């Protein structure tokens, strides 16, 4: 791989002519190595029949260099080797570094795409079905306590289970690790009855003490995490028997059961971290249909857990690879590329089937009126929002921007492009803006209250009401005291309302209040879509709008064309 890169460096510097004269010192400077190492590299390339090197005796004498292969062929060899070693990052970097023409980039990308999709092989007279999937978010941890990214939650949902789960039908909660549950009249004491003989991936049987341990981790954490407004309201968790758990809430909360269906409330084994000295985030043990067998910076390998209590998955192995660029489904050859792609960027292709889940991503910007500044004035907010709305429609308001100081726009790196777009539109309207991007963890801190505009994202799935409650609770901290009190009052009503449809109506009233008073402006909403080849069977979605890997299967090769 290194020799390929060195060849490409030399070809980039000297390959414009059929033959060049050059000294070894000049080659050493190009390669960034010593005179002796440069000679070693040249000799290896001669042995590979990549170059012809006619040496002149004496240091400093000019020798003759002739390239025998085009750079495209060497780049392609380099990519193929990287793919065969599963070194996907090197493959991607190679495409970026060496694809100087669109045709070469298409060729190199084609080799990369061929790595993904469904692959079947025979091992000890058994057919092993592997699905390789790309994700554009780097995976850091699968620990339910520390996850921040949707891609992490996607993997976690196949590794862990919760007490309850959302069914395919919206707002319907069904059994998970608990086969039944009940509540007292005050709806603060909840009792859950666990399934018997459910196994964790390391062979231990699930018991009530594992549930107690899992929730006590949440209750005791200092992490600022999603849905903490719910689990911080847990008074106690008690094992009444090996298969019975009682959870006592400080006050009733009708979002408690939906919370138990989320990946944040996944059940982990109490003996995993302390007793084994392993990292639950990168070497997790759950009860889910797949277990993590490898976890590296750019690769996560899942293997089927054959003893899953709800039935064995059809796939044997799933490789999830971090690919830091958008995947184009239309560039994939229908015979050997992606079989399942989440949020494909390409337009409709006749060779791909597409399915919409009931999820979408909404991006929006909020005004911080808690901070003393120009946005406390509703007229200024109104003008600013009208500028964003007008720019989206191709019109700029005729009224000039108010004379205000620089506006700080805060967000996380993933939404930096949206923040820059807002700054560009407002600058065109006469405002002065600067964008500040910080890590998701820092974004939970004081930076929001120090900024004038904050760019957020809301993933709208079957957990939407949980996410909305968390979102509006966070946004209320950016509001003036009067508006904040009203929003908190409506959130209190939501937490006491058992009917999800009534809760949805109150959430809509909150949104209308914030948009009417120019506290909030929705930038756009993008639906979640999955593209898959017709050979893929069993494509369904989990509660988060992700493809449920447990149900995916592939017919034999000779039946795929039928």
| pTM for the structure as a whole | 0.77
**Residues sharing a CB contact under 8 Å with residue 24, sequence separation 6 or more, in sequence order:** 35, 38, 39, 42, 59, 63
- On the question of pLDDT at 311 being above 80, the answer is yes
Distance (Å, whole) CA 52 – CA 560: 49
Report the distance separating Cα 505 and Cα 517, nearest Å. Answer: 19
Q: What integer pLDDT is reported at residue 332 of this predicted model?
A: 39
Rounded distance between C-alpha atoms, residue 128 and residue 121, angstroms: 5
**Residues with Cβ within 8 Å of residue 525, at least 6 apart in sequence:** 360, 361, 362, 363, 460
Beta carbons of 463 and 544 less than 8 angstroms apart:
yes
Task: Pick the more confident residue, 289 or 226.
Answer: 289
Mind listing the domains of the chain with CATH numbers?
A: 1-115 (1.10.10.10), 158-272 (3.90.76.10), 361-526 (3.10.105.10)
d(CA 190, CA 209) in angstroms, rounded, equals 16
133 closest CA partner among 109, 157, 154:
154
Per-residue pLDDT, 158: 94
Q: What is the mean pLDDT of the chain?
A: 83
* Euclidean distance between CA atoms 504 and 402, whole angstroms: 37
Quick one: pLDDT at residue 545? Answer: 62
Describe the crossing of helices 500-516 and 481-496 by its angle, rounded to 10 degrees. Answer: 170
CB 487 within 8 A of CB 476: yes
Write the pLDDT tens digit of every residue in 481-535. 999 999 999 999 999 999 999 999 999 999 999 999 999 999 999 876 665 556 6
Under the banding of pLDDT at 50, 70 and 90, the label for residue 40 is very high
Nearest of 39, 32, 68 to residue 56 by alpha carbon: 39
For the four alpha carbons of 336, 340, 342 and 343, in that order, the dihedral sign comes to positive
Residue-wise pLDDT tens digits, 49-76: 999 999 877 666 789 999 998 887 887 7
* Residue 61 confidence (pLDDT): 77
Per-residue pLDDT reduced to its tens digit, 426-475: 998 889 999 999 988 788 888 998 999 999 898 888 888 999 999 999 99
- Mean pLDDT comparison of 9-13, 210-214, 388-392, highest-scoring range: 210-214
Separation between Cα atoms, residue 206 and residue 242, nearest integer Å: 9
């Amino acid at each position: 791989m290194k020799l390929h890169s060195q060849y490409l460096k030399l070809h980039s510097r000297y390959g414009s002519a059929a033959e060049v004269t050059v000294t070894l010192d000049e080659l050493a400077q190009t390669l960034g190595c010593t005179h002796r190492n440069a000679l070693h590299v040249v000799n290896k390339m001669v042995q590979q029949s990549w170059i012809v090197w006619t040496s002149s005796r004496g240091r400093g004498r000019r020798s003759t260099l002739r390239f025998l292969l085009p750079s495209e062929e060497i780049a392609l060899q380099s990519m193929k080797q990287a793919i065969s070693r599963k070194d996907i990052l090197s493959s991607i970097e190679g495409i970026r570094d060496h694809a100087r023409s669109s045709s070469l980039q298409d060729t190199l990308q084609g080799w990369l795409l061929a790595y993904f999709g469904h692959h079947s092989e025979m091992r000890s007279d058994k057919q092993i079905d592997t699905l390789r999937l790309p994700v554009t978010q780097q995976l850091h941890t699968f620990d339910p306590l520390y996850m921040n990214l949707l891609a992490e939650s996607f993997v976690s949902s196949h590794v862990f289970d919760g007490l309850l789960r959302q069914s395919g039908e919206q707002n319907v909660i069904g059994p998970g690790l608990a086969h039944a549950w009940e509540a007292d009249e005050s709806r603060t004491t909840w009792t859950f009855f666990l399934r018997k003989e459910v196994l964790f991936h390391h062979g231990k049987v699930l018991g009530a003490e594992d549930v107690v341990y899992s929730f006590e981790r949440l209750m005791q954490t200092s992490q600022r995490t999603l849905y903490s407004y719910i689990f911080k309201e847990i008074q106690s968790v008690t094992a009444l028997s090996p298969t019975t758990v009682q959870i006592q809430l400080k006050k009733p909360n009708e979002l408690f059961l939906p919370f138990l269906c989320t990946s944040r409330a996944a059940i982990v084994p109490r003996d995993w971290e302390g007793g084994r000295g392993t990292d639950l985030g990168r070497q997790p043990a759950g009860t889910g249909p797949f277990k993590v067998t490898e976890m590296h910076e750019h690769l996560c390998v899942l293997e089927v857990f054959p003893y899953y209590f709800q039935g064995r998955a059809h796939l044997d192995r799933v490789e999830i690879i971090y690919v830091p660029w958008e995947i184009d489904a239309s560039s994939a050859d229908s015979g050997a590329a992606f079989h399942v792609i989440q949020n494909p960027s390409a337009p409709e292709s006749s060779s791909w089937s597409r399915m919409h889940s009931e999820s979408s991503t909404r991006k929006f910007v909020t005004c911080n009126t808690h901070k003393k500044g120009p946005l406390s004035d509703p007229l200024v907010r109104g003008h600013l929002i009208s500028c964003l709305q007008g720019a989206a429609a191709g019109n700029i308001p005729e009224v000039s921007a108010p004379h205000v100081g620089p506006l700080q726009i805060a967000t996380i790196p993933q939404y930096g492009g949206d923040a820059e777009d807002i700054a560009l539109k407002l600058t065109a309207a006469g405002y002065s803006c600067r964008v500040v991007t910080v890590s998701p963890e820092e974004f939970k801190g004081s930076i929001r209250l120090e900024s004038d505009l904050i760019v957020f994202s809301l993933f709208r799935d079957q957990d939407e009401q949980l996410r909305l409650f968390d979102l509006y609770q966070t946004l209320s901290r950016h509001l003036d005291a009067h508006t904040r009190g009203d929003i908190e009052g409506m959130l209190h009503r939501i937490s006491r309302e058992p009917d999800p449809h009534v809760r949805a109506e109150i959430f809509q009233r909150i949104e209308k209040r914030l948009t009417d008073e120019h506290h909030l402006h929705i930038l756009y909403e993008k639906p979640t879509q999955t593209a898959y080849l017709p050979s893929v069977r069993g494509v369904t979605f989990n509660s988060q709008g992700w493809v449920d890997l447990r149900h995916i299967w592939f017919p034999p090769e000779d039946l795929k064309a039928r």
